[in-house]
Structures are given as structure tokens and as C-alpha cells.
Amino acid sequence: MEDCIFCKIIKNEIPSRKVYEDDEVVAFLDLTQVTKGHTLVVPKKHVADIYEYDEELAAQTFSRIPKIARGLRDSDPSIKGMNILNNNGELAYQSVFHSHIHLIPRYTETDTFSVEFGDNSQKHSPEELDTIKNAIQTRMEE
């Protein structure tokens, strides 16, 4: 894609701080640095989001994450945890429409990143959960 900033990084048309690269995947520091070391793992093949991955691309991309995450963690002894995120679609805060995975190191409970999971367990009956489960399974079989 001509206007894709990640494709330009992959082609070395614009500078980046790459921490990893092979024939299928590149990883570089995110400019926003939500926390120090915030890294993006990006397939070199342009796909907009997770829904466009085939099994091969998923295996190529996701199999690199543990190695990159360990390198990131081991680079700084003050890293105490890591969030690994993939945003798909504007509503999910995807801002660059070339699929990528965020590796966000965590240092303390007061660093500059937070995720809040609401507990909606009381809103869905077991029957509703079965309906949701069945709908997902049916779509995966198609």
C-alpha cells in the first residue's frame, strides 16, 4: 500500500528503530512509547487487521512474539510485566490499518498505561452464553 506508514518502514523509506527483522516480520519501537520500550510487531505482508490473516501469516507473525517479548523484558530489569495487544477496527482504537501487535512493558502500577476489564458475568444467563458459543462455533465451521 502506497500510503501505509508501516509499509514505508518495512521498505526502509522512512526511518524507524527496528529491534527485530526477518523475511516475514519486523518489530520496531512505537513512536508514542506508551511506556518505555513499547514495541510493535508487524507482518511484512500488508493486511489491515487480524481478520485478513491466513494460518501461515498468523504462524509467522505470532511465533516471533515470545522471542521479541523476552528480548524486551531482558533489556531492562525494571520491567515487571507486559501487555500484548492487537486492536482491530477504529472502535477498538486501531489507528494504523496495517495489522500490528503492541508489546507494552509494565514497570509499576502507576505507569502510563491501563486496561480495565468490566465484570458483566451477571448480565448473561447460561442459556445466552450457550447461544453465543454456538454462533461462534457455527461461523468457524463455514
What's the chain's length in residues?
142
Active site residue 100: yes
Give the sheet arrangement for strand 81-85, strand by strand. Answer: 18-21, 25-29, 39-43, 101-106, 81-85
The residue annotated as part of the active site, out of 98, 100, 102, 124, is 100
45 vs 42: CA distance, rounded Å: 9
Q: Which residues are catalytically annotated?
A: 100
